Amino acid sequence: MPKIKVGIADTTFARVDMGAMAIDELLQLTSKIEVVRYTVPGMKDLPVACKILFEQHDCAICMAIGMPGPADKDKICAHEASQGIINCQLQTGRHIIECFVHEDEAETPKELIEVCENRSRKHARNIFYLLFDKKWFIKNAGKGLRQGFPDAGPIKA
């Protein structure tokens, strides 16, 4: 049976190699997929990278990995990239799991790397569930799941 292609789009701008983490997690989870990695300069190049992964590499799903800096300009960049990623999904009818870690999400380098590791691996698992076990999400609907940090959990009255 031919393997299902999963696109991993990431950047040279990012300061942590989350692409490698996500790929490692995916390949540990299953041998039924083949990863196509497409690295681009920055976040704003991710939407078209995913479009190319869908159209030219026939990926069934993508992950878009980016790491916005702490400045206002970087936040706007991330916003523009996110809009493009959503538009790309609407045009292709396929999922792109956005895995962005903002540089100011942690206080120390060590913590930041942990956020990156946790988020990229958990989102790799989300891709696995989207491909092979969509019911897993229904079971966890409204459960306050988080990627990068511990789950927030459901709100209790």
Site for its own copies in 68-107 (CB under 8 A): 69, 73, 75-77, 79-91, 93-98, 102
Place of tokens 């942990």: 114
42, 74 contact by CB (below 8 A): no
Nearest distance in Å: CB 85, its own copies:
8
Please identify, using beta-carbon distances, which residue of 31 and 134 lies nearer to its own copies.
134
Please identify, using beta-carbon distances, which residue of 25 and 98 lies nearer to its own copies.
98
What is the dihedral sign for C-alpha 20, 115, 138, 28?
Answer: positive
Tell me the CA distances in angstroms from 13 to 16, 18, 66, 123, 157, one per residue in order: 9, 12, 8, 20, 43
Please identify, using beta-carbon distances, which residue of 28 and 86 lies nearer to its own copies.
86
Nearest distance in Å: CB 54, its own copies:
9
Please identify, using beta-carbon distances, which residue of 1 and 90 lies nearer to its own copies.
90
Binds its own copies (CB under 8 A): choice among 6, 14, 62, 63 = 14
34, 63 contact by CB (below 8 A): no
**Which stretch of DSSP H or E encloses residue 73?**
helix 72-92
144: number of CA atoms within 13 Å, CB side?
A: 8
Please identify, using beta-carbon distances, which residue of 5 and 95 lies nearer to its own copies.
95
Please report, as residue ranges, which positions from 18 to 77 form the binding site for its own copies (by CB under 8 A).
18-20, 37-41, 44-45, 47-48, 51-52, 55-56, 67, 69, 73, 75-77
Please report, as residue ranges, which positions from 103 to 142 form the binding site for its own copies (by CB under 8 A).
109-110, 112-113, 123, 126, 130, 134, 137-138, 140-142
**What is the rounded distance in angstroms from the CA atom of residue 77 to the CA atom of residue 71?**
10
